[in-house]
């Protein structure tokens, strides 16, 4: 039986974006989900815990979730950079990844692996299922770990009491709502959602209280 899953949150300024470092308690290889605009903090934590990066996972290609890709790849060049196939264009385009709109230019290294619906990743003794939930971005994916309880690294899909913005290029409230209802609200109520911004929540809490996607 695998050791307990460890999840450490690093909040990057100025967008209060959550980066997650994920590893097994008995191992030294880790996953980094959505490295943000303060990669030095991420790298310092990894060094402090003597963790090696097994993979870099991007839920989507917006600047605040990919800004640390380059620094992580420079320090851990063997770690594959993984993103949803329909968001890969955002990595290298400051207009598409929204950094240009905020007055700076983020260009990520290219992806090493593209994923889509129902793909399965086996990394650092962690099995992650890929679910496509577009609407905040064209190719947004979430990573589901089916343990007790289930864990979802959800990016900017579903927040505590809110949802991801749908007014960016390629956005769609209808697609986002449909993905939340069919792929997240169908998970057990105690499933933990680690979102791209703000505190963790559960599927059950959002079904009961989320004003944007209320339970039907």
Report pLDDT digits (tens) over 92-128.
999 999 999 989 999 999 999 999 999 999 999 999 9
Residue 169, pLDDT score: 85
* Out of 62-66, 102-106, 114-118, 157-161, least confident range: 102-106
Produce one character per residue of 99-133: b if its CB has 16 or more CB atoms within 10 Å, e if not.
beeeeeebbbbebeeebeeebebebbebebbbbbb
Rg (CA), the chain: 16
Total number of domains constituting the chain:
1
pLDDT cut 70: percent of the chain above it = 100
Q: Is residue 43 part of a domain?
A: yes
Strands of the sheet containing 113-115, edge to edge, are 5-12, 17-24, 29-33, 52-58, 81-84, 113-115
Q: Confirm if 59 and 142 have CB atoms less than 8 A apart.
A: yes
Q: What is the mean pLDDT of residues 5-12?
A: 97
Q: Is residue 21 part of a domain?
A: yes
- Kindly tell me if the per-residue pLDDT of 13 is higher than 90: no
The helices-and-strands tally (H runs, E runs) of the chain is: 6, 14
Parent domain of 104? 5-209
Classify residue 135 as left (phi > 0), alpha (psi -120 to 50) or beta: left
Tell me the pLDDT tens digit for each residue of 188-214. 999 999 999 999 999 999 999 999 999
Note the pTM of the prediction, 2 decimals.
0.97
Q: Is residue 214 part of a domain?
A: no
Mean pLDDT of all residues belonging to the chain: 97
Give the pairing of strands 126-132 and 120-123.
Answer: antiparallel
Q: Is residue 66 part of a domain?
A: yes
Q: Is residue 215 part of a domain?
A: no
Q: Where do runs of H (alpha helix) occur along 155-202?
A: 173-179
Q: Say which residue the tokens 């839920």 belong to.
A: 59
Q: Say which residue the tokens 């329909």 belong to.
A: 86
Q: Looking at residue 117, which CATH number applies to its domain? A: 3.60.15.10
Q: Is residue 127 part of a domain?
A: yes
pLDDT band at 2 (very low <50, low <70, confident <90, very high): confident
Q: Is residue 88 part of a domain?
A: yes
From first CA to last CA, the distance across the chain in angstroms is 37
């Amino acid at each position: 039986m695998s050791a307990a899953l460890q999840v450490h949150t690093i909040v990057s300024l100025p967008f209060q974006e959550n980066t997650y470092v994920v590893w097994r308690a008995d191992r030294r290889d880790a996953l980094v989900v959505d490295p943000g605009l303060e990669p030095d903090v991420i790298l310092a934590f990894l060094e402090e815990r003597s963790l090696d990066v097994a993979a870099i996972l991007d839920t989507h290609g917006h600047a605040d979730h990919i800004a640390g890709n380059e620094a992580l790849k420079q320090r851990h060049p063997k770690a594959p950079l993984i993103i949803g196939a329909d968001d890969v264009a955002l990595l290298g385009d400051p207009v598409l990844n929204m950094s240009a709109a905020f007055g700076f230019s983020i260009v990520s290294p290219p992806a090493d692996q593209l994923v889509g619906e129902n793909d399965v990743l086996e990394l650092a003794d962690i099995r992650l299922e890929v679910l496509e939930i577009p609407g905040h971005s064209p190719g947004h994916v979430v990573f589901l770990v089916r343990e007790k309880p289930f864990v979802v690294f959800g990016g900017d899909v579903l927040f505590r009491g809110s949802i991801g913005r749908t007014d960016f290029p390629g956005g769609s409230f209808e697609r986002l709502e449909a993905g939340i209802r069919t792929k997240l609200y169908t998970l057990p109520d105690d499933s933990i959602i680690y979102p791209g911004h703000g505190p963790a929540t559960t599927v059950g809490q959002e079904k009961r209280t989320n004003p944007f996607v209320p339970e039907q």
